[in-house]
Amino acid sequence: MIDVLIVEDDFMVAGIHQSYVDRVFPFQVVGAVSTGEQALAEIRKMRPHLILLDLYLPDMFGLDVIPRLRGEGHNCDIMVISASRNADEVRNSLRQGVVNFLLKPFEFEDLSSRLLHYAAQRESLLAAVVRDQSDIDRALLQRQPQASNFMLPKGMSAETAKLVENALRDSEENLSAAECAALTGLSRVSARRYLEHFHDAGRVKLCLRYGSPGRPERRYQWIT
């Protein structure tokens, strides 16, 4: 399991974040705090793997938590969740090594796609063996999600598109929207939207399965 600490001063927002995180395997929320000092205390005690960090905390600026926990030797990862659209704050977050930056407000699929990418990246890096430069290059590439090489319509994210693409590529059989949703953690509606986009773009083949009376089931297969 991947233990998550939520650092958010609005308890209602923190509750929403927790409900989202707990829906995504293998993540589990082990605590939620509202200040930077509380965050540092909980990190010392619980040693979580991932911190969901708001920037505007009542006692300090969120990014100021990072050098303090690094100075104490904690290697937990940080994902910033903030309403800030300040470019300097985004740049400073990336310079301090955050694994992702998610703007509020957001939907479940926006967070779940980033969590799943983080989980895959973490597993890959933990299993990495460095034999030569190619192994290092491969590990560095894991730090960023690889967007599909075509334009996405407004409202679609490259991270989610890549999740759906990987599910299709990894499946030995064609997938329905419900099956794709179960594999990616998306809602069925969201999965269907991305699958239909891939079909319109000529990336997947549509297969119709006729069974019970009524409309046939739409199933999708990645075109290699």
Q: Provide the 8-state DSSP code for 60.
A: S
Q: How far is CA 7 from CA 4, 63, 96, 126, in A?
A: 10, 12, 17, 25
Which tokens go with 211?
């069974």
CA 18 to chain centre: 14
Domain count, the chain: 2
Q: Do 92 and 169 lie in a common domain?
A: no
Backbone angles phi, psi at 70, to 5 degrees: -70, -35
Residue 141 pLDDT more than 80?
no
Q: How far is CA 130 from CA 11, 16, 112, 118, in A?
A: 43, 40, 30, 20
Backbone angles phi, psi at 54, to 5 degrees: -80, 150
- Which stretch of DSSP H or E encloses residue 173? none
Which of 5, 7, 9 has its CA nearest to residue 28? 5
Which segment of 37-41, 48-52, 130-134, 172-176 scores lowest on mean pLDDT?
130-134
Within a domain: residue 23? yes
The range of the structural domain enclosing residue 93 comes to 2-105
Q: Do 98 and 162 lie in a common domain?
A: no
Q: How confident is the model at residue 212 (pLDDT cuts 50, 70, 90)?
A: low
Cis peptide upstream of residue 26 (ω within 30 degrees of 0): yes
Q: Do 21 and 86 lie in a common domain?
A: yes
What CATH number has the domain bearing residue 153?
1.10.10.10
**What's this model's pTM, rounded to 2 decimal places?**
0.65
Which tokens go with 39?
């965050």
Q: Do 25 and 87 lie in a common domain?
A: yes
Within a domain: residue 120? no
217-222 and 204-209 beta bridge pairing: antiparallel
Q: Do 160 and 100 lie in a common domain?
A: no
Please tell me the predicted confidence (pLDDT) of residue 27.
95
Q: Do 6 and 99 lie in a common domain?
A: yes
Judge whether 162 and 146 are in contact, CB under 8 Å.
yes
What CATH number has the domain bearing residue 57?
3.40.50.2300
Judge whether 222 and 165 are in contact, CB under 8 Å.
yes
Please tell me the predicted confidence (pLDDT) of residue 145.
46
3-29 pLDDT tens trace: 999 999 999 999 999 999 999 989 999
